[in-house]
């Protein structure tokens, strides 16, 4: 598993230095940076939203010509906004999805309005529990779900997942840590990209790390 480094990678992704997708995402970074109310949440925060963007961009590179530049742009916008204004507490995830969509509707760029419905559908795919079964979901849905889930396999997982979710869920960190082995053991990625980037060996290594702690 490759380690993430959003400090070095995110500016390049936002500027679209590789000309991978249509246009650039600077407008959307500014919308999040200046307006999102969840940037300081313990888990559903700036780090999580842009970690998801980083991974979705990696998936776009992986799939290459299987996705059009427009589809890639829609996916990346959805990744940036999928937790916009998240409440930061345990509850009805459908309400959080609707907050994200309201934020996207407010800050959607003129050139993306024609694809607003498609972007919203990708965001809705992250609602948990999932309403569309993994085996039958379109590729873009599978990518964003896998990217959203993969925070548990990042090098920052103790701070982000264990302490972050404990705070948001009103639990003790040890309670979250105790549940990580079962969670990790049950991970089933939707896409070939995620299964290659996070092979079973990487998941088993993280499980071993949990057991040591």
Question: What tokens appear for 84 in the block?
Answer: 């916009």
**What pLDDT, on a 0 to 100 scale, did the predictor assign at position 12?**
95
DSSP state of 152: G
Nearest-angstrom CA–CA distance, 106 and 65: 31
Give, for all 213 residues of the chain, the pLDDT tens digit: 333 434 348 999 999 999 999 999 999 999 999 999 999 999 999 999 999 999 999 999 999 999 999 999 999 999 999 999 999 998 888 999 999 999 999 999 999 999 999 999 999 999 977 666 556 689 999 999 999 999 999 999 999 999 999 999 999 999 999 999 999 999 999 999 999 999 999 999 999 999 999
Q: What is the pTM of this model?
A: 0.93
Query: Could you tell me if 103 and 81 are in contact, meaning their C-beta atoms sit under 8 angstroms apart?
Result: yes
**Alpha-carbon torsion (14, 100, 96, 140), positive or negative:** negative
Nearest-angstrom CA–CA distance, 71 and 118: 9
End-to-end CA distance of the chain: 20
**What pLDDT, on a 0 to 100 scale, did the predictor assign at position 135?**
62
Question: What tokens appear for 174 in the block?
Answer: 């040890």
Nearest-angstrom CA–CA distance, 119 and 139: 13
**What pLDDT, on a 0 to 100 scale, did the predictor assign at position 128?**
79
Nearest-angstrom CA–CA distance, 148 and 189: 11
Nearest-angstrom CA–CA distance, 79 and 134: 18
CATH of domain 6-151: 1.10.1300.10
């Amino acid at each position: 598993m490759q380690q993430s480094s959003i400090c070095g990678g995110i500016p390049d992704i936002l500027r679209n230095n590789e000309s991978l997708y249509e246009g650039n995402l600077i407008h959307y970074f500014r919308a999040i940076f200046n307006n999102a109310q969840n940037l300081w949440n313990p888990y559903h925060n700036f780090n999580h939203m842009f970690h998801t963007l980083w991974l979705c961009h990696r998936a776009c590179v992986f799939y290459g010509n299987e996705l059009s530049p427009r589809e890639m742009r829609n996916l990346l916008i959805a990744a940036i906004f999928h937790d916009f204004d998240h409440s930061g507490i345990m509850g009805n995830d459908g309400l959080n999805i609707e907050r994200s969509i309201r934020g996207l509707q407010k800050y959607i760029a003129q050139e993306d309005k024609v694809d607003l419905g498609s972007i919203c559908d990708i965001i809705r795919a992250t609602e948990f529990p999932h309403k569309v079964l993994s085996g039958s979901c379109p590729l873009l849905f599978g990518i964003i779900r896998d990217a959203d889930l993969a925070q548990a396999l990042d090098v920052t997982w103790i701070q982000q997942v264990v302490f972050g979710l404990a705070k948001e869920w009103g639990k003790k960190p040890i309670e979250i840590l105790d549940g990580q082995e079962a969670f990790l053991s049950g991970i089933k990625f939707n896409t070939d990209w995620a299964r290659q980037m996070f092979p079973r060996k990487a998941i088993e290594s993280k499980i071993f790390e949990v057991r040591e702690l």
